[in-house]
């Protein structure tokens, strides 16, 4: 209503004086309290939002209708003050549909008692989410001011006043937004600017300009060690932007974030005698926005290997740590170690014959101890020497991260070597990674060497909070310790530094080097072991290192071999990856919390946890699943709603309508594998409350409105949500939700039967009604959208076979669906995946697709299942580390967000797919199907042997071996499935005669029912 007036003037206009609190509505998410009222402001009334986050995550907000036509350039201002802890402040604008959202965020916002003015310019606003293809901010209808629970949560208030808006003239960037840099000088040494102590170089831009920093290019041997950079709008009053006191010549990059000025002045320190500036490069605003932006620019022109690989191309890494996640370190494919989340890294360099070798000068080979233990190595190989870097966490209740560098002379003559370990302000987690942890630069403000340990101080990103200190403890004393500040070229010369024992870097980008000199005879090696600690001292000695390594190996072998698996050599990679995947799940968790990763995802999802728990239970690792269920049970909302995820802030209120079914499935699945009826009974109140909440949701869509011909595909389903990641722009009626809901109903009915609950018949009726509605909606959707497959969402008619896999397990509804639609879905998926190697019409995919292997096993397509599994195995990166990230790119070196690596939820998908190849539950008759994914390749040589596989019916041992058309197999263990065992014949021809424990039978199909009771069951083809 004010927009036309606002755009007609360039003067600031009061947009809303907040005198009328009634025009604003206060609201909050589940479990959060909010209240709005008018209070005294700067001139008249202000708006006050009281909030109380309680013990949940969530948000409190104010909203009102406020139409705005946005010009190309503008400045919006508002004043804020308040009381409370550190949380996130969001200012949002939505269009008339309410589906498209633009926002600006102030993360880690701590309100002050005095008014703070917030300025919003075009570069501060970004498109948040929504289905629109045109994300340009042109017109919005509503405004929202939101406080999102951050680090502190708690209760408090914020007051808002003085919202104003001003249309500005078009911006005048330098020389264009994020375009080429502007050179002030001509880059000619002959005409370089000469200066001495006290002399200044001034630049007049002819108008107020925006810049992000400068790069000073000094003539060789003629540089200013100390100088001051100032800014002024009138050439009279100057503001100091930066003081450099330890410049080292060459190119001096100097970030000047958020600088707006007409004049820029560089004044040399009185100590400078003869400085010659060849060029002064003015960098655009984006260059100084973050340390990552600056370093990415510097890395483009630096020699390869000076900066970590992740700043110029996609890099890969893996995880090492302890069961339970107390230690969760990363090691990169080039040998750098990140000891803790968001910490610095330790990067190796080797100096030989006057040359310094870095990661770009050698061949790097990753590996794991014994091929599967989470004790990773990176081996550098040069012509006649090698360096092996490894890291692991010690076993026990108080784990500690240890690492070792082994430098070996592989030549034929005695050689002198220098090993350099550089402590650098970079994570192994690269800058393209974000979400809960931004990768790339990790600031180092202070360094101190006391003769035994190096203390590294990282400042807090939240103003006023204490810095964090970590320490390195070399178990062999270095020959030299050096330190270098950012102004001394710390980033550009990582392999050397002047001797020093302390450093305080105002730029917070300091580094240190620890060096060891050694002369090695041919074949000899030098070991440099090291311990890491969160402050304090590392209680380990050099002599204790090897015993600690062996203890870790023994401990992990015991944890990862609960199921014994022997396979032919050509399948060994799969067996190794199965064990490593289990290790990654155990390391990625945070105590009781099962998490998909340790960097990008600092939260625990019921979705991920339920599916990871299925994998753990089948491998006989039950306690982590029980611990997760017990912990998550304390996070339910009072109305029975299951939070989609939980983090340090509490339960998340975002509705994701798969959550209820996943929770009920998790609880009953644990009972199926443990038989603990008392525990199930203790969880019944939660199961029933969640079931009721789930039932209310699906009944909300079972309305006359949805019985119209064009809405039958919605009738009786769960309401639309974003639980399917592809629907984050606009909520949809996702069948992923519905398959999990059906699993929840079936599990609730099962639990009620076991506990002899009076609600049993009611739950069974709800289950059956929902089953009928689900099948009808799928058929209606296929007809409406004119498709010949099962859609991902009935409201879209889209294709997503990975979502449809849930119809097999856990929903168990696949046999009841239209079989033509079902088969077409997975034929389409098969063709889609297998065409990728020869096509360029795709950029990336998510390895959640591994679930399709299980679907094809259940469809009776073992050849396709194996080919699909082989395809995904080839996309492990690196293959020797037995892992997948959340995203796999077609071009392995194209930089992209790839999620956590390894991604524990993806690896749980792999575990289930791999185990399904050997045995799975057929829900229609509760039979155990054996060998559904076996082919002659699996059964060659000594064949396969799997012992100790856990099922809901007991443990199972399987051995299978084939020679030609002859097969021998044995089933043993405690498993007694109600539907018996069914052998899926793994050879091309079904035999005419089989011996089952010596008795002859004549198979009539490839599905061979084994009706015999008791075990072992011996199977062999007749001669």
Q: Residue 925: is its pLDDT beyond 70?
A: yes
Q: What is the pLDDT of residues 532-545, one digit of tens each?
A: 997 666 678 999 99
Count the neighbouring beta carbons within 10 Å of the beta carbon of residue 522: 13
- Please name the residue ranges forming H helices in 815-963: 819-834, 851-858, 862-874, 904-916, 936-939
Q: How confident is the model at residue 165 (pLDDT cuts 50, 70, 90)?
A: confident
Residue 213 CA, distance from chain mean position? 31
How confident is the model at residue 535, as a pLDDT?
63
* pLDDT recorded at residue 12: 59
CB 909 within 8 A of CB 902: no
Helix (H), strand (E), coil (C) string for 451-491: CCCEEEEECCCCCCCCCEEEEEEECCCCCEEEEECHHHCCC
The reply to whether 182-289 shares the fold of 3-167 is yes
Asked if CATH classification 3.40.50.10860 holds for the domain at 3-167, the reply, yes or no, is no
Question: CB within 8 A of 389, min separation 6: which ones?
Answer: 331, 335, 337, 348, 377, 378, 379, 380, 403, 404, 405
Q: In the prediction, which pLDDT does 537 show?
A: 60
Gap between the Cα atoms of 401 and 606, Å rounded:
30
Instruction: Give domain limits for the chain.
Output: 3-167, 182-289, 309-441+448-532, 635-818, 921-1021
Name the E strands within 269-335.
275-283, 317-321, 328-332
CA nearest to 152, candidates 82, 91, 103, 104: 82
pLDDT single digits (tens) 356-367: 999 999 999 999
Contact at 8 Å (CB) between 306 and 358? yes
Highest mean pLDDT among 155-164, 202-211, 624-633: 624-633
Judging by DSSP bridges, how do beta strands 999-1001 and 994-996 pair with one another?
A: antiparallel
So what's the pLDDT on residue 178?
Answer: 41
Predicted pLDDT at 16:
60
Q: With cut-offs at 50, 70 and 90, classify the pLDDT of residue 17.
A: low
CA distance 918 to 168: 68
pLDDT at 4: 34
Which helix (H) or strand (E) is 36 found in, with range? strand 33-40
Greatest pairwise CA separation for the chain in angstroms = 104
pLDDT at residue 495, as a whole number: 84
Q: From CA 854, how far away is CA 864, in angstroms rounded?
A: 11
Helices (H), 917-1003: 936-939
The mean pLDDT of 69-98, rounded to a whole number, is: 94
pLDDT band at 464 (very low <50, low <70, confident <90, very high): confident
| pLDDT higher than threshold 70 for residue 255 | yes
Give the pLDDT of residue 849.
Answer: 98
Angle of helix 851-858 relative to helix 819-834, nearest 10 degrees, comes to 130
Query: What does the alpha-carbon distance between residue 982 and residue 990 come to, in Å, rounded to a whole number?
Result: 14
Which residues lie below 8 Å from residue 785, measured CB to CB, with a gap of 6+?
791, 796, 797
Q: How far apart are CA 744 and CA 632, in angstroms?
A: 16
Q: What is the pLDDT of residue 820?
A: 98
The pLDDT tens digits for 753-782 are: 999 999 999 999 999 999 999 999 999 999
Q: Is the pLDDT of residue 392 over 90?
A: yes
Q: What integer pLDDT is reported at residue 756 of this predicted model?
A: 98
309-441+448-532 CATH pick, 2.70.98.10, 2.40.50.140, 3.30.830.10, 2.70.98.40? 2.70.98.40
Q: What pLDDT is recorded for position 208?
A: 87
Q: What is the pLDDT of residues 393-404, one digit of tens each?
A: 999 999 999 999
Angle between helix 760-785 and helix 677-699 axes, rounded to 10 deg: 50
CA 922/CA 856 separation, integer angstroms: 13
- CA-wise closest residue to 443 among 300, 556, 344: 344
CATH of domain 182-289: 2.60.120.260
CB atoms near residue 71 (< 10 Å): 19
DSSP-derived 3-state class of residue 429: coil
Q: Please write the tens of the pLDDT for every residue from 122-140.
A: 989 999 999 999 999 999 9
Average pLDDT of the segment spanning 494-520 = 95
Question: What's the gap between Cα 942 and its chain centre?
Answer: 40
| Mean pLDDT score of the chain | 94
Q: How far apart are CA 377 and CA 374, in angstroms?
A: 10
Q: Beta-carbon neighbour count of residue 520 at 10 Å?
A: 18
C-alpha distances in Å from residue 952, one per residue of 35, 286, 633, 668, 839: 50, 56, 22, 10, 42
Which residues make beta-bridge pairs with 48? 37, 159
| DSSP at 303 | P
Can you read off the two tokens belonging to residue 144?
A: 């929202």
Burial (Cβ within 10 Å: 0-12, 13-18, ≥19) of residue 827: middle
In this model, does residue 163 exceed pLDDT 60?
Answer: yes
**Confidence tier at 877 by pLDDT (50, 70, 90):** very high
* Token pair listed for 862: 């073992």
Is the dihedral angle over the CA atoms 889, 895, 896, 901 positive or is it negative? positive
Give mean pLDDT, residues 710-714. Answer: 96
Q: What is the mean pLDDT of residues 153-172?
A: 86
Task: Check: CB of residue 587 under 8 Å from CB of residue 375.
Answer: no
Task: Give the separation between CA 261 and CA 238, rounded to whole angstroms.
Answer: 10
Mean pLDDT of 607-624: 98
Tokens of 153: 């949560």
Task: Give the model's pLDDT for residue 174.
Answer: 47
The pLDDT assigned to 13 comes to 61
User: Which of these, 659, 652, 657, lies nearest to 148 by C-alpha position?
Assistant: 652
How confident is residue 6, by pLDDT bands cut at 50, 70 and 90?
Answer: very low
pLDDT of residue 547 exceeding 70: yes
CA-based torsion, 255, 258, 264, 268: positive or negative: negative
Residue 735 banded pLDDT, cuts 50, 70, 90 = very high
The answer, yes or no, to whether residue 160 has pLDDT greater than 90, is yes
What would you report as the CA-atom Rg of the chain, rounded to the nearest whole angstrom?
Answer: 32
Task: Provide the CB-side half-sphere exposure for 991 (13 A, CA).
Answer: 24
Q: What percent of the chain has pLDDT over 90?
A: 87
Paired tokens of 239: 């503001």
Closest CA to 310 of 894, 925, 917, 1007: 894
Q: Strand locations in 721-869, DSSP E?
A: 844-845
Residues forming a β-bridge with 193 = 277
Q: What is the mean pLDDT of residues 833-851?
A: 96
Instruction: Determine the average pLDDT of the residues in 174-186.
Output: 60
pTM of the model: 0.95
| Cα 10 to chain centroid, rounded | 44
Residues 6 or more apart whose CB falls under 8 angstroms from that of 397 comprise none
Predicted confidence at residue 834, as pLDDT, reads 96
Q: Give dist(CA 498, CA 447) in Å, integer.
A: 13
d(CA 884, CA 878): 9
Structure tokens at 354: 């006057």
With beta carbons less than 8 A apart as the criterion, state whether 968 and 961 touch.
yes
Strand partners, 257: none
> In this model, does residue 8 exceed pLDDT 90?
no
Task: Say whether 905 sits in a helix, a strand or coil.
Answer: helix
The Cα 646–Cα 642 span in angstroms is: 10
């Amino acid at each position: 209503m004010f927009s036309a007036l606002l755009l007609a003037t360039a003067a600031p206009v009061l947009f809303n004086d907040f005198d009328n609190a009634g025009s604003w509505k206060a609201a909050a998410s589940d479990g959060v309290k909010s209240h709005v009222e008018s209070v005294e402001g700067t001139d008249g009334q202000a708006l006050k939002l009281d909030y109380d986050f309680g013990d949940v995550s969530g948000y409190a907000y104010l909203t009102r209708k406020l139409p705005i036509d946005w010009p190309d350039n503008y400045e919006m201002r508002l004043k804020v003050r308040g009381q409370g802890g550190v949380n996130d402040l969001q200012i949002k604008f939505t269009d008339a549909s309410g589906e498209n959202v633009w926002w600006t965020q102030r993360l880690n916002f701590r309100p002050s008692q005095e008014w703070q003015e917030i300025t919003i310019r075009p570069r501060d606003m970004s498109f948040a989410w929504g289905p629109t293809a045109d994300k340009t901010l042109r017109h919005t209808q509503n405004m929202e001011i939101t406080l999102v629970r951050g680090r502190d949560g708690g209760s408090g208030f914020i007051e808002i006043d003085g919202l104003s808006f001003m249309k500005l003239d078009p911006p005048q960037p330098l020389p264009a937004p994020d375009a080429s840099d502007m050179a002030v000088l001509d880059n000619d040494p002959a005409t370089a600017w000469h200066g001495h102590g006290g002399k200044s170089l001034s630049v007049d831009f002819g108008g107020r300009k925006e810049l992000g920093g400068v790069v000073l290019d000094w003539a060789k041997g003629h540089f200013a060690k100390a100088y001051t950079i100032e800014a002024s709008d009138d050439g009279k009053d100057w503001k100091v932007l930066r003081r450099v006191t330890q410049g080292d010549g060459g190119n001096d990059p100097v970030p000047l974030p958020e600088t707006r000025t007409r004049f820029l002045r560089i004044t040399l320190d009185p100590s400078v005698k003869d400085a010659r500036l060849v060029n002064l490069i003015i960098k655009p605003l984006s260059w100084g926005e973050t340390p990552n932006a600056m370093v990415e620019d510097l890395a483009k022109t630096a020699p390869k290997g000076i900066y970590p690989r992740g700043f110029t191309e996609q890099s890969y890494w893996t995880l090492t740590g302890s069961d339970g996640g107390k230690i969760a370190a990363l090691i990169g494919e080039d040998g750098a170690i990140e000891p803790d989340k968001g910490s610095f890294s330790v990067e190796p360099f080797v100096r030989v014959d006057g040359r310094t070798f870095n990661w770009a000068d050698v061949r790097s080979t990753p590996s794991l101890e014994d091929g599967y233990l989470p004790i990773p190595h990176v081996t550098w190989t040069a012509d006649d020497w090698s360096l092996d870097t490894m890291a692991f966490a010690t076993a026990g209740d108080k784990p500690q991260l240890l690492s070792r560098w082994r430098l070996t002379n592989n030549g034929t003559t005695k050689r002198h070597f220098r090993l350099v370990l550089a402590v650098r302000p970079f994570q192994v987690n690269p800058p393209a990674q974000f979400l809960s942890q931004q990768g790339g630069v990790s600031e180092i403000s202070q360094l101190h060497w006391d003769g035994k340990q190096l203390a590294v101080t990282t400042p807090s990103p939240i103003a006023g909070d204490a810095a964090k200190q970590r320490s390195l403890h070399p178990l062999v004393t270095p020959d030299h310790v050096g330190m270098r500040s950012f102004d001394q070229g710390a980033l550009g010369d990582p392999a050397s530094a002047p001797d020093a024992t302390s450093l305080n870097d105002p730029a917070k980008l300091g580094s240190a080097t620890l060096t060891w000199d050694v002369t090695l005879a041919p074949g000899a090696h030098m070991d440099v072991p090291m311990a890491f600690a969160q402050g304090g001292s590392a209680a380990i000695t050099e002599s204790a290192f090897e015993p600690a390594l062996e203890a870790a190996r023994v401990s992990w072998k015991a944890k990862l071999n609960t199921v014994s698996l022997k396979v032919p050599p050509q399948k060994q990679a799969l067996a190794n990856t199965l064990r490593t995947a289990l290790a990654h799940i155990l390391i990625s968790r945070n105590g009781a919390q099962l998490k998909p990763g340790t960097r990008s995802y600092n939260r625990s999802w019921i979705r991920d946890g339920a599916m990871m728990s299925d994998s753990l239970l089948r491998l006989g690792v039950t306690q982590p699943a029980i611990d997760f269920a017990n912990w998550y049970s304390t996070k339910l909302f009072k109305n029975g709603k299951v939070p989609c995820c939980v983090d340090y802030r509490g339960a998340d209120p975002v509705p994701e309508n798969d959550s209820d079914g996943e929770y009920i499935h998790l609880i009953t699945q644990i009972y199926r594998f443990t038989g603990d009826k008392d525990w199930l009974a203790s969880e019944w109140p939660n199961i029933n409350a969640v079931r009721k909440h789930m039932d209310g949701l699906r009944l909300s869509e079972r309305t006359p409105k949805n019985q119209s011909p064009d809405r039958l595909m919605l009738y009786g389903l769960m309401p639309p949500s974003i639980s399917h990641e592809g629907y984050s722009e606009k909520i949809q009626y996702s069948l992923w939700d519905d398959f999990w809901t059906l699993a929840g109903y079936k599990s609730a009915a099962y639990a009620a039967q076991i506990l002899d609950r009076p609600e049993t018949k009611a739950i069974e009726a709800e289950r059956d009604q929902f089953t009928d509605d689900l099948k009808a909606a799928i058929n209606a959707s296929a007809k409406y959208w004119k498709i010949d497959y099962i859609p991902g969402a009935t409201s879209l008619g889209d294709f997503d076979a990975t979502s449809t896999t849930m119809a097999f397990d856990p929903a168990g509804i696949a046999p009841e669906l239209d079989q033509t639609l079902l088969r077409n879905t997975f034929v389409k998926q098969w063709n889609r995946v297998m065409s990728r190697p020869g096509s360029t019409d795709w950029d990336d995919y998510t390895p959640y697709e591994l679930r399709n292997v299980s679907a094809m096993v259940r469809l009776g397509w073992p050849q396709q299942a194996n080919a699909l599994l082989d395809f995904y195995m080839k996309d492990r990166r690196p293959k020797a580390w037995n892992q997948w990230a959340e995203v796999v790119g077609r071009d392995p070196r194209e930089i992209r967000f790839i999620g956590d690596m390894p991604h524990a939820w993806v690896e749980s998908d792999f575990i289930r797919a791999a185990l399904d190849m050997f045995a799975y539950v057929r829900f229609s008759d509760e039979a155990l199907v054996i060998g559904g994914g076996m082919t002659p390749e699996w059964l060659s040589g000594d064949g396969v042997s799997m012992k100790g596989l856990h099922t809901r019916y007991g443990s199972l041992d399987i051995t299978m071996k084939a020679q030609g058309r002859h097969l021998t197999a044995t089933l043993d263990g405690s498993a007694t499935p109600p539907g018996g065992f069914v052998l899926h014949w793994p050879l091309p021809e079904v035999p005419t005669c089989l011996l089952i424990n010596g008795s002859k039978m004549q198979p009539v199909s490839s599905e061979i029912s084994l009706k015999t009771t008791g075990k072992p069951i011996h199977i062999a083809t007749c001669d």
